[in-house]
Structure 1
Amino acid sequence: MTARVFIDGEAGTTGLQIRERLAGRRDIELISIDPARRKELSARAELLNAADVAILCLPDDAAKESVSLIENSKTKVIDASTAHRVDPEWNYGFAEMAKGQKQAIAEGRFVSNPGCYPQGLIATVRPLVEGGLIPADFPLTMNAISGYSGGGRQMIETYESEAQPAPYMPYALGFNHKHLPEMQLNAKLDVAPLFQPAVGNYAQGMVTCIPLQLSALKSAPSGKTLHEAISDYYADSEGFVEVAPFEAVQKVPELNPETFNGTNTMRLYVFANDDRAQAVLMAVYDNLGKGASGAAVQNLNLMLGIDQKSGLTVD
């Protein structure tokens, strides 16, 4: 049976990438607004109610408006905005986040697609909090770099229009980034982390980095213990989340933010110096793949009851 899918906001970066991943699939019929009616609210409402699944690639207020336009009880919704990421009535769309999460997505009607940056923190920290290796009130920081597409439309326009754009540009230096609530909730933290993102002079791909001063704990876990906990946590992730071997190295070539571009793979790393009781948790993935559009397609597949890898590349 062919599922009817409407991408509300298909002209944006995330929408275009979702459409690209769905192109040519025989199990999906993409429905779109007539260009002549693009600004008509009634036209959006018609398609939202005609779709089996609506994928919202819109600003928060517009996403909320789209949900309000759905008058039936059958249209399923994937929201790629931040509007519903901490709403208890919506399932968080990071399928590997916890046991039962994939099933919750598959059985749910409303799924909030996760943000790109939060996934790196949630993927590495949540297993350690659940395993009791670090406390929920542990003071965490996360530094991360993304391709400039991770900074939104205005940043994309800036980088693509400037003759000499900055090779590295930290931002959100007021430390009140909109992703903080979903990071805290889904990593099971009592307090929000100190989050300092940046973009580089390349289009897509990201690395997240979480340093741990384990000496602040009464009993500091070893690097091997941290690695084993994270590896065990993702043993059944079907290749979407993989954990690199635990090695004593000074440099890893694969810690290139563009390593997994075009794929739905996330690779996690644990580096540690037990003598100093220090560790660093890192994640490498495509901010437009597993971090956005790829995650949306994976969630769509789960909600339609088909192979979650359909239309996706897993390295």
Structure 2
Amino acid sequence: MPTKKFNIYVDGQAGTTGLRINERLVNHPYVNILKIDEDKRKDYDARKELINSADIVFLCLPDVASIEAVSMINPDNTHTKIIDASTAHRTNPNWTYGIPELTPTARQEIAQSMRTAVPGCYASAFILPMYPLVNGGIIPKDYPVTAHGISGYSGAGKSAIAEYNDPNRSNLFPTYDTPRHYALGLHHKHIPEMQQKVGLTYAPIFSPIIADYYEGLEVAIQLHTRLLNKKVTPADVHKYLSDYYANQNFVKVMPFNPSQCLDSNFFNPIACNNTNKAEIFVFGNDDQIMLITRLDNLGKGASGAAVQNMNIMLGLDETLTLI
């Protein structure tokens, strides 16, 4: 383990993801958190100085601001590594995609990376079960994939959080008490990385839903076995995914037993809250298969994934402050 502490700067420390990253770093034994004065959070020169002073910079910013922050790195700076939690660089081939569990070489690629993109929360839950099945030849690359996701309102950002927490919301926002579909034009911002990272020929149809609880997320993918490349049962798919993700710290394929996977006959989307876990489930019958992944949209879907990547990029135990 290192004998020094690494300097870490969170650019966008006041946002939901930035706050959670800072919470995870407070007790980290090998980091020193660089702070910016509140009145200088948007000061170009102050940000640039901190960015170039850090060993790791987390970008918890809108896409345009993240791109600007990367441009602040001095040309001769060879030590500052960037971990971007925005959408800006997730499909950029010059950036490493930050799912350490996804391939046998992913951790090594992240460890050697100077630029890592944190996956989207919905994208992580979609890619984790889909990539092995497409890469393994079970699901055709041109399969017409349909999926839906449901998330707590924290995933929609500070303005949505304020609206959902408004004490007068029943008068101001009467529909906020119900689950609500959005992105009905079928152009959700996570779809490009879902398609690219899984290797799909066509973009999946993805339908997200926001619901009246704070955090926790699930993505469900429905498959017709008659359209797959080979005849498989839900048990076959479960075994394949279980073997693929065996012995991972944070990704687990749950038992193939609905009675152990349901809460009073219903699926629980918040069981991974306040963890960095992603749990994969397989349900179905001989004709149809349902894949469901649940995770904390602020954990493995954002801040937890970011800190896991940081640990790997610094040569540390990936579980530090995450278990």
**Alpha-carbon deviation of 1:248?**
5.6
What is aligned with 2:227?
A: 216
Aligned equivalents of 1:27, 1:110: Cα separation in 2: 20
Q: 1:244 aligns with which of 249, 254, 271?
A: 254
What is aligned with 1:64?
A: 67
Q: 2:17 aligns with which of 10, 14, 21?
A: 14
- Kept in 2: contact 1:207–1:255 (CA 8 A): no
Aligned equivalents of 2:21, 2:274: Cα separation in 1: 12
Q: So what's the TM-score if we normalise by structure 2?
A: 0.92
What is aligned with 1:143?
A: 148
- Kept in 1: contact 2:254–2:261 (CA 8 A): no
- Kept in 2: contact 1:142–1:209 (CA 8 A): yes
- Kept in 1: contact 2:102–2:128 (CA 8 A): yes
Amino acid at match of 2:262: V
**1:137-176, aligned counterparts within 5 Å?**
137-161=142-166, 162-163=169-170, 165-176=176-187
**1:1-315, aligned counterparts within 5 Å?**
1-71=4-74, 72-161=77-166, 162-163=169-170, 165-217=176-228, 219-238=230-249, 240-247=250-257, 252-253=262-263, 255-274=267-286, 277-313=287-323
- Kept in 1: contact 2:139–2:229 (CA 8 A): no
Amino acid at match of 1:89: N
**Alpha-carbon deviation of 1:25?**
2.3
Count of residues paired in the alignment: 310
Identity, % of aligned pairs? 45
1:308 partner SS: coil
1:260 partner SS: coil
Call closer, same or farther: CA 1:188–1:66 in 2, change over 3 Å: same
Gaps spanning 5+ residues in structure 1: where? none
**Alpha-carbon deviation of 1:158?**
2.1
Gaps spanning 5+ residues in structure 2: where? none
1:292 partner SS: helix
> Once structures 1 and 2 are overlaid, which stretch shifts more, 179-188 or 214-223?
214-223
How far does the alpha carbon of each residue in 1:156-194 deviate from its partner, in whole angstroms, 9 at most, with x for none? 222122235233111111101111110001112111110
Alignment root-mean-square deviation, CA: 1.5
Aligned equivalents of 2:254, 2:216: Cα separation in 1: 18
> Once structures 1 and 2 are overlaid, which stretch shifts more, 160-169 or 136-145?
160-169
**Alpha-carbon deviation of 1:243?**
0.6
**Alpha-carbon deviation of 1:35?**
2.3
How far does the alpha carbon of each residue in 1:184-223 deviate from its partner, in whole angstroms, 9 at most, with x for none? 0111211111000011111000111001112234643211
